[in-house]
Amino acid sequence: MEISAEALCALLAGILEGDPEVKVTKLAPIESAGPGDLSFVSNPKYEKYLATTAASVVLLAHGVDSCHTKATIIRLHDVYQSLAQLMQHMERLSKPHKVGIEPMTYVSASAQVGEDVYIGAFAYVGDGAVLANGVKVYPHCYVGEHTRIGSHTILYPGARCYPGVQLGSHCVVHSGAVIGADGFGFAPNSQGGYDKIPQLGNVVIGDHVEIGANSTIDRAALASTKIGDGAKIDNLVMIAHNVEIGRNTAIVAQAGISGSTKVGEQCVIGGQAGLVGHISIANNTRIGARAGVGKSLAQPGKDWSGVPLMEHKKNLKIQALIKQLPLLFEQIHTLSIKHGNQ
């Protein structure tokens, strides 16, 4: 992609400082960018590279000093958000617009396939499935019986949607993700083993949801496991049966949410955090990485971390004190010797 600073500024609704005619062809990190590159600074620790960068154009927040750089500057209110907007634009230009059904696929005669749909080789679309307009099903995907996929949703290679899944519009499901597998339901029996509890529900996913590679979302036992509009689920996330995830909640890699837990809207759950079942998490809650959540969190807008779970600020104080334990022990030992106690 080649674009002038002037056109780029108009696209991002920024303010231009410098040569409007200079052109850029690709994005590059500020510390290694060269002539013809577009770069950015969204983190203050990278501002030092403004003086040395060879980038032709740099995206910069209002108020950041740029007097030591030779690059053309585009001032923006939110560099990170504008960068996301630009990269989405670049992706749309670079991606091939695949349509049609490739050879070596199976599409049931009772399936409904909309306009501009792409189904790659070795994909399977079961009886009664519905693929709305613009859906992309890449090779080796499985779309089970009576699964419904909303418009312009993408299933990347190897994604699996078990029967009865409802997937909204403009969603992205990455490779290896499994949606709608059985929830972990087993009842101990008198022989010391387990009887399987059939999982008769489904999974309902809203619009603009992204599900990372090798993540799993289990079907409900009776009703629906629900993922709200705009939720973002990282790679290797486990969401159990009957869980409900609120709108615009983000869940980071290797987090696990046990059955029947309800997570509110606009929450953030850090990597490797674990949530027990049958609890509720209030809106705008932030849970740190590796936290162990064993109870409901009823107050919205709070930060939590640690094992056992506690308010994040308190946990930081405790961690600071733990680092001082060797010194405290040495001081106590010295005092003990001084007073004759070995």
Those residues with Cβ within 8 angstroms of residue 220's Cβ, 6 or more apart along the chain or in another chain: 183, 199, 201, 202, 203, 241, 242
For 201-229, b/e burial (b = at least 16 CB within 10 A) is bbbbbbbbbbbbbbbbbbbbbeebbbbbb
Is the preceding peptide bond at 29 cis, omega within 30 degrees of 0? no
| φ, ψ of residue 160 in degrees (nearest 5) | -130, 125
Residue 177's Cβ-count burial label (10 Å; 0-12, 13-18, 19+) is buried
Name residue 187's amino acid: A
Q: Are strands 268-269 and 303-305 parallel, antiparallel or unpaired?
A: unpaired
Which residues are identified as catalytic? Answer: 241
Reduced to 3 states (helix: H, G, I; strand: E, B; else coil), residue 272 is coil
Q: What's the gap between Cα 30 and its chain centre? A: 25
DSSP class of 176: T
In the sheet with 238-239, reading across from the earlier edge strand, the strands are 106-107, 124-125, 142-143, 160-161, 178-181, 216-218, 238-239, 256-257, 274-275, 292-293
Rg (CA), the chain: 26
CA distance 273 to 266: 17
